[in-house]
Structure 1
Amino acid sequence: MHSAPVTPAGDRIRWVELPGGGPARVYVHGLGASSPAYFAEVASDPLLAGRRSLLVDLLGFGHSDRPTDFDYTLESHADALAAALTAAGVAQAEFVAHSMGGSVAIVLAARHPGLVAKLVLVDANLDPIPEPGPPGAGSSGIASFTEEEFLAGAWQQVRDGVGPHWWSTMRLAGREALHRSAVGLVRGSVPTMRELLLELPVPRTFLYPAADGSVPGEAGLVAAGVAVVAVPDCGHSIMLDNPAGFVKAVSAALD
């Protein structure tokens, strides 16, 4: 386990590192997840192994510290991640980022361009959510509660709604971190994650479950040079549902 302080108070981001050569590869998890749990199998597959790979837990999640005075916006997540990667000696890395982690990676690439050489987004959030959804699972469901409601016990409703698999990593998150990150994801960035992505000058690939049929705004992504790739036999967590298909798609995107 590696770590680096990323706040003035010394709060640390932690990551598991797989040894290898070449430019670093950085894996970033989604809301309520943890990169070692979600990416260890695929990152060690022969098609992707052999590169220095950092399986990073964002601040507030997994093995990283969970400060209660951090705002957990997409911008703050991106800056904290940038501080950790800079301390690790990472530059011009390949990013493989899932869901909210993809949103963070887009903002990171815009704010800290020297850190990002390639970007593979795994069913990432590209747009703000206009209205929080019904209380329960997912970012909009979490954000439907006030922070006070969530901390006072509404988090149990989320626990019961997400199921045992997602809860196995979500329970590791700080509750303030989970709620504020969901609110930040629903709010999105300014410019939006989609707008930032369209302007990034690096190779970009967007993976999505083939069962979804298409990606909203796909024509605009393709026109801007973003490769949009459907992965079969999976849901939102592509790397867990179809590891072989995920590895094949990521390997092709990075090659």
Structure 2
Amino acid sequence: MHSAAVTPQDDRIRWVELPGEEPARVYLHGLGSTSPAYFAAAAAHPLLAGRRSLLVDLLGHGLSDRPEGFTYTLEAHADALAKALGQAGTEGAEVIAHSMGGAVAVVLATRHPELVSRLVLVDANLDPVRPDRRAAGSGAIASYTEEDFLNGGWAEIRDRVGAHWWSTMRLAGRTALYRSAVHLAAGTTPTVRQLLLELEIPRTYLLPEADGPLPGAEELKAAGVAVVPVPDCGHNIMLDNPDGFARATAGALRAA
């Protein structure tokens, strides 16, 4: 395990690192998750192994610190991650990022282009989400006030998301989880989708085949974003279909 101080208070981002050839690959988890749990098997898959791989936990999540004074906006997450990657010496990394991590990765590539050579987004958040108590994930969490979430709303979310997601979500700081969800639901200005359209590096978007056509797919393709459906999976593509995920990701990383 490695770490880097990324705030003036020396709060640290931590990551599990697998040795291998450069350029490095950086794996980023989704909301309430942790990269070692979600990406260890993928990084070691025969189609993806052999590259220096950093399985990074964003601030507030997993192995990383949980500062109460941090804003947890997508921009703040990206800037903190940039400091960690700078200290790790991973300029020009290939970034493979799931869900919220995908939104952070797009912002990272926009604000710190020297750090990212290509993106593989795994069912990532591209558009704002309306807060909705009946929903799951960021939309449900964002429907609470911070006070209500911290004073018991988190338990309602725990019961709704189920044991699998909660097994990693419970590791996140509750303030960090709430603020990350609120800012993920709100998105960025311009939107993450628009930022993605404007990037000039190779970009691939993986989605579950069963979800049907990706909204706005034609516009993404016209801008050079490869849109790749993966069969036999849900939102957690790398866990539901490890071989399919590895094939799609390896293909994206080989593409010109």
TM-score scaled to structure 1, two decimals? 0.99
| Alpha-carbon separation, structure 2, partners of 1:109 and 1:216 | 22
| Alpha-carbon separation, structure 2, partners of 1:199 and 1:245 | 28
Which residue does 1:102 correspond to in 2? 102
1:144 to 1:67, Cα distance in 2 relative to 1, 3 A: same
Which residue does 1:65 correspond to in 2? 65
Which residue does 2:201 correspond to in 1? 202
| Alpha-carbon separation, structure 2, partners of 1:11 and 1:88 | 16
- The answer (yes or no) to whether the contact 1:135–1:144 under 8 Å persists in 2 is no
| Alpha-carbon separation, structure 2, partners of 1:81 and 1:62 | 14
Tell me the amino acid that sits aligned with residue 117 of structure 2. Answer: A
Q: Percent identity?
A: 69
1:152-163 pair list within 5 angstroms = 152-163=151-162
Unaligned stretches of 5+ residues in structure 2: none
Which residue does 2:33 correspond to in 1? 33
| Alpha-carbon separation, structure 2, partners of 1:191 and 1:229 | 24
SS in 2 for 1:42: helix
Q: How far apart are residue 68 of structure 1 and its match?
A: 0.4
Which residue does 1:90 correspond to in 2? 90
Q: Does 1:6 align with 2:10?
A: no
| Alpha-carbon separation, structure 2, partners of 1:32 and 1:85 | 21
SS in 2 for 1:22: strand
Q: Does 1:234 align with 2:236?
A: no
| Alpha-carbon separation, structure 2, partners of 1:210 and 1:232 | 5
Alignment deviations for residues 59-111 of structure 1 (CA, whole Å, 9 cap, x no partner):
00000000000000000000000000001011000000000000000000000
Q: How far apart are residue 136 of structure 1 and its match?
A: 6.0
Which residue does 1:17 correspond to in 2? 17
SS in 2 for 1:216: coil
Which residue does 2:169 correspond to in 1? 170
**Runs of 4+ in structure 1 over 2 Å off:** none
- The answer (yes or no) to whether the contact 1:136–1:158 under 8 Å persists in 2 is no
Which residue does 2:148 correspond to in 1? 149
Which residue does 1:243 correspond to in 2? 242
Q: How many residues align?
A: 254
CA RMSD of aligned residues (A): 0.7
Unaligned stretches of 5+ residues in structure 1: none
| Alpha-carbon separation, structure 2, partners of 1:149 and 1:134 | 13
| Alpha-carbon separation, structure 2, partners of 1:152 and 1:88 | 38
Which residue does 1:214 correspond to in 2? 213
Q: How far apart are residue 38 of structure 1 and its match?
A: 0.1
SS in 2 for 1:14: strand
Which residue does 1:186 correspond to in 2? 185
Q: How far apart are residue 40 of structure 1 and its match?
A: 0.3
Alignment deviations for residues 192-235 of structure 1 (CA, whole Å, 9 cap, x no partner):
10000001010000000000111010010000000000000000
Alignment deviations for residues 152-210 of structure 1 (CA, whole Å, 9 cap, x no partner):
01100000011111001000000000000000001101111000000101000000000
SS in 1 for 2:250: helix
| Alpha-carbon separation, structure 2, partners of 1:136 and 1:147 | 17
| Alpha-carbon separation, structure 1, partners of 2:202 and 2:135 | 36
- The answer (yes or no) to whether the contact 1:139–1:185 under 8 Å persists in 2 is yes
Tell me the amino acid that sits aligned with residue 32 of structure 1. Answer: G
